[in-house]
A and B are shown apart, each in its own frame.
Chain A
């Protein structure tokens, strides 16, 4: 049974509380029991408790699969990009290096690339992924477009991302503030001119990552 076509996975970094419930629950999934296929990143712990859960974005044209010399990474007809197939994976790390979202991890002991498969054992049976089910702040959400529109009137989902000249469309949606223009940052440009970010870009980054409250000076 395929993952229902009207069900989407949404990530809302503004809601992430860094509790790692997703990380702990992911390792309970039957398809990769004992291993977590999601990880948590701090944006900059010295500055803020802002964290970001990182899952596979399940790209429409997955770079990881495109760069795989062994054709080990398959995408299901319902758009879920799977962990590399054990008989084919040669542990070359191409996918790990190429993924613009930094998702695939090499399991060195098993010589196998492993990554989030959107809890295919659960989602293909009509259940929600383990991480999105347990997430206490619902930074990870699995449901319909109507549900997310009702629950997040201040936000909107995007699934188009720009990395340099590469435009990527994903099955997973990222929630961004409704009023903010999601102007994409060209990583190459930032690398060349680190001090010349536009105000608009800074504002977008600040709003997307942390809507800073008024902090009274003492």
Chain B
């Protein structure tokens, strides 16, 4: 049903991506803007402060916001050019209905009629097949108010358990590991603690390209005397100047952490007082890492033994330290084990919960943190409450004015939703701010599942690649067209301010959801007149929970340049650093710093297992994937911004010269990368900055340039994060340039 209504080339011709450059008023020198709007970037989890220049309801440029403490005016190229997505020729100005007879595959229809038809089809599916036959895929770039509303909409209005979000693809392994070890899922420290750390350990994080502002924190720490240890299969721009580089074989991080802990125990580089007073489980962990002497660690990780010993010594003997990790250790079928391994060496050092000592994951998406705390994750209710917990259900049900029994039980992760479509259990889908056809692994399977749906409605402001297959598209809002809050990388709740109003028949997303609820005949609880009202209800829903936002107000956020949660009352300043003695902790209630009833952190045995798909004779090379600095996630926005596309117009496969020579591949030559699931043909970039047994392709592109045609849908059993960072491939010189090189525009 949901196959594209016309060819991909035709759809792209009508709906883009087309490239926007500065022109017209945006190019006018000396033009005085009507106002400067202080807000934040629409892209990654750092959420840099930025001022948008607005003239006549158009964002015409930016001005650095140097007073905002996190980035002090600094921006990456995406933030600089983000303003070019407003007034973009591809912007959806009205609703679209699938129409194979139309040149672009869709015809426009009135907004009210589109809402009526969407509600009618949702109603039909649910009356014929049950409420559970309809699913929602939401997004971690939405404001916290919107994510709260999406969770409430799925459970109260649609009465379906099946809602999940694209944060599933981002940092859920970190979230799960943090909860198991600390009882709370949040970066433990503000980034200012990096500056005074004696050792900064960075595992699986291409900081310079994925979180560029963080580079300045790390290098300032280095200027202040810190030693920087980077663990990565590639020499990234930050790794280039680190003090110790450990070129790990992808998927073996837990082995390294276990090996480090083995040496810490052997040399007694432990904080015994901390372990005794504040943790449980060290003995069984210590027993488990006896199996990881340096020789075995070196063999499994592919890192030289002397480098492992040096890293253990630096980490073990440091006075202060900060450990950062990101998707490089989290995107694995054992991502949670990797994270637990990292936490174990932090806890064994005792360097957490005090100044200049910390631990954090680097949030990838704009609201990766707030987006999962308030109810769009398949197993969570607002306040990071547990959907399966009767007390938690009762608290939120009371706020929502429903019986706890009416709330569905936990659903399934985003990928499992597609498997349920395959089994015919899910027949209809609503997506917002999620582009699974590009971002999910093994996306040829995803495409087939979209085809099986009875009805698919997408909310978006550009026609993303997944929405090509939609029956209806509802025109949503850009970041600068709405207001609300997000929670950034450090756990700081900040305010997004509206700069312009939505054009044409486009609507703010929360209005669209409420219009659908009304059209479905279930308006109860969906009559908010403003995002501020949603935030006020969210505050009450989160009260007493772990992610307690009840003391945060929009005014306080602006006064303080953000408020760190938990913040349990209006006179509470917020909690920048977790686990400090005496800090707010609703679980331990004074028993200790960690969020368990006894106040103690948990050591967890971190089991090593090889990646789900290891190399073999047929597929002898490891493929790993990631980002480039000028693009963001599935590229729905950045592949439409001309200067960003020009900076990195197409994916390339990075290959070490030794591997390239063995395969007869030259720099710039078209190379086909094949896995058991699909293939992609891209140009080779021959560089010495990657392991010879590993190749790398960035994943931001769609269609024939999509790296996720090749990746594997293996998932972590706990977090359900996909294993983007390892699959087995073979490489060969392409017989000819791929079709896209001659037929499609360069940005495709």
Contact = CB atoms under 8 A, between A and B. Distances in A.
Interface of A: 14-21, 23-25, 27-28, 30-31, 33-34, 45-51, 128, 130, 133-138, 151-155, 210-218
A24 B412 CA distance: 42
A134 B643 CA distance: 16
Contact of A19 (B62, B71, B239, B629): B629
B247 A215 contact: yes
Contact of A136 (B28, B216, B242): B216
A14 B216 CA distance: 12
B137 to A, nearest CB: 31
A114 B625 CA distance: 39
8 contacts: A16-B237, A19-B237, A20-B629, A25-B75, A27-B22, A47-B689, A153-B223, A213-B243
Bin the interface of chain B by size.
35 or more
A206 to B, nearest CB: 12
Contact of B212 (A133, A137, A155, A212): A137
B64 interface: yes
B238 A17 contact: yes
B695 interface: no
B295 interface: no
A211 B687 CA distance: 18
Interface stretch (B88-96, B283-291, B299-307): B299-307
Interface string B670-706: 0000000000000001111101000000000000000
B57 interface: no
A46 B30 CA distance: 42
B244 A21 contact: no
B224 to A, nearest CB: 8
B29 A33 contact: yes
A134 B685 CA distance: 29
B80 A24 contact: yes
Contact of B30 (A21, A24, A30, A212): A30
Contacts of B239: 213
The 9 lowest CB-CB distance pairs between A and B, nearest first, are A216-B304, A216-B307, A136-B212, A17-B208, A17-B237, A213-B245, A137-B215, A24-B77, A24-B80
B657 interface: yes
Nearest to B234: A49
Nearest to B72: A133
A25 B74 CA distance: 11
B219 interface: yes
A19 B74 contact: no
Given A21-B79, A46-B686, A136-B76, 9 more contacts: A15-B241, A21-B212, A24-B643, A30-B29, A47-B689, A49-B237, A136-B213, A153-B223, A218-B302
Contact of B80 (A15, A25, A30, A213): A25
Nearest to B687: A46
B245 A215 contact: yes
Given A20-B630, A151-B220, A213 B304 contact: no
A16 B216 CA distance: 10
A133 B688 contact: no
Contacts of A218: 247, 249, 302-304, 691
B61 interface: yes
Contacts of B601: none
Nearest to B48: A136
B399 interface: no
A15 B213 CA distance: 12
A21 B686 CA distance: 25
Contacts of A16: 237
B687 to A, nearest CB: 6
B81 interface: yes
Contact of A48 (B30, B216, B240): B240
Contact of B81 (A24, A135, A137, A211): A24
A19 B76 contact: yes
Contact of B62 (A14, A18, A28): A28
Interface of B: 21-22, 27-30, 61-62, 64, 66, 71, 73-77, 79-81, 208-209, 212-213, 215-216, 219-220, 222-224, 230, 235-247, 249, 302-304, 306-308, 310, 629-630, 643-644, 647, 657, 667, 685-689, 691
A21 B61 contact: no
Contacts of B208: 17-19, 137
Contacts of B75: 21, 25, 134, 136
A112 B76 CA distance: 30
B142 to A, nearest CB: 25
A13 to B, nearest CB: 10
Contacts of A153: 223-224
Contacts of A138: 74, 216, 219-220
A35 to B, nearest CB: 10
Contacts of B220: 138, 151
B655 to A, nearest CB: 11
Contact of A216 (B21, B237, B245): B245
A25 B212 CA distance: 15
B247 A133 contact: no
A36 to B, nearest CB: 9
A133 B63 CA distance: 10
A48 B245 CA distance: 14
Contacts of B241: 14-15, 210-211, 213
Contacts of A15: 215, 219, 241
B6 to A, nearest CB: 35
B525 to A, nearest CB: 42
B106 to A, nearest CB: 33
B245 A21 contact: no
Nearest to A137: B215
Contacts of A48: 235, 240, 688-689
Contacts of A25: 75, 80
A30 B244 CA distance: 43
A154 B687 CA distance: 30
A213 B81 CA distance: 33
Contacts of B237: 16-19, 49, 51
A34 B302 contact: no
Contacts of B213: 136
Most buried by B among A135, A212, A216: A216
Nearest to B667: A46
Contacts of B215: 15, 17, 136-137
A18 B236 CA distance: 10
Contacts of A47: 687-689
Given A46-B667, A213-B239, A216-B304, A31 B29 contact: yes
A216 B303 contact: yes
A19 B209 contact: yes
A155 B245 CA distance: 22
Contacts of A21: 75-77, 79-80, 212
B339 to A, nearest CB: 23
Nearest to B235: A49
Nearest to A25: B80
A128 B21 CA distance: 25
A135 B208 CA distance: 11
B22 to A, nearest CB: 5
A46 B688 contact: yes
B315 to A, nearest CB: 15
A33 B245 CA distance: 41
B517 to A, nearest CB: 41
A151 B28 CA distance: 37
Contacts of A151: 220, 223
Contacts of B242: 213
Contacts of A24: 77, 80-81, 643-644, 647
Given A19-B629, A45-B687, A213 B230 contact: yes
Contacts of B80: 21, 24-25, 28, 134
Nearest to A49: B237
Nearest to B211: A136
Contacts of A215: 235, 245, 247
Contacts of A211: 241
Contacts of B691: 218
A34 B22 CA distance: 7
Contacts of B74: 133-136, 138
